[in-house]
Each structure stands twice: as C-alpha cells, then as structure tokens.
C-alpha cells in the first residue's frame, strides 16, 4: 500500500511541478469551490460542473501528450 501511495504522490508532484499545470489547477479549483459552495445552484448543476472540470482536465492532458510526441 505504501508503494502505491508513493507512486501516486510522486506522479502528482511531478505533474504539478509544471507551472502551467499548477496555474490551471489553481484557477479550476477556485472556480469549482465557488460553484460548489457559494453560487446558489441546484445539486445536479453542481455535479455537472464538477464532472465537466474533470473531463476538461483529461482532454487537456491528452492534447498535451499528443503535442509532446
């Protein structure tokens, strides 16, 4: 279990060491917190926004991977 956690934490730290990734995560995090906790929206809209942020991040990562190869 410790080995898996060590690999995951290493991957996350490596991913966030790039300033662009860190900036995008910071902006997305602030927006996500505002939408989830401050803006008075129905629960289903909050869930949709949360899922959209995850999908957007995955697509962005795939596009970055394609550009680097």
Give me Rg for the CA atoms of the chain. Answer: 15
What local confidence, expressed as pLDDT, does residue 34 receive?
A: 80
List the chain domain ranges: 19-68
Residue 49 in contact with residue 35, Cβ under 8 Å? yes
| Structure confidence at residue 46 as a pLDDT band (50, 70, 90) | confident
| Structure confidence by residue, pLDDT tens digits, 3-13 | 888 888 887 77
| Segment holding 35, helix H or strand E | none
Task: Identify the residue with better confidence: 21 or 9.
Answer: 9
């Amino acid at each position: 279990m410790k080995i898996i956690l060590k690999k995951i934490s290493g991957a996350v730290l490596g991913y966030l060491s790039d300033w662009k990734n860190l900036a995008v995560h910071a902006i997305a995090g602030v927006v996500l917190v505002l939408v989830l906790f401050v803006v008075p929206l129905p629960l289903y809209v909050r869930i949709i926004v949360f899922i959209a942020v995850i999908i957007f991040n995955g697509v962005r990562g795939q596009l970055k991977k394609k550009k680097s190869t």
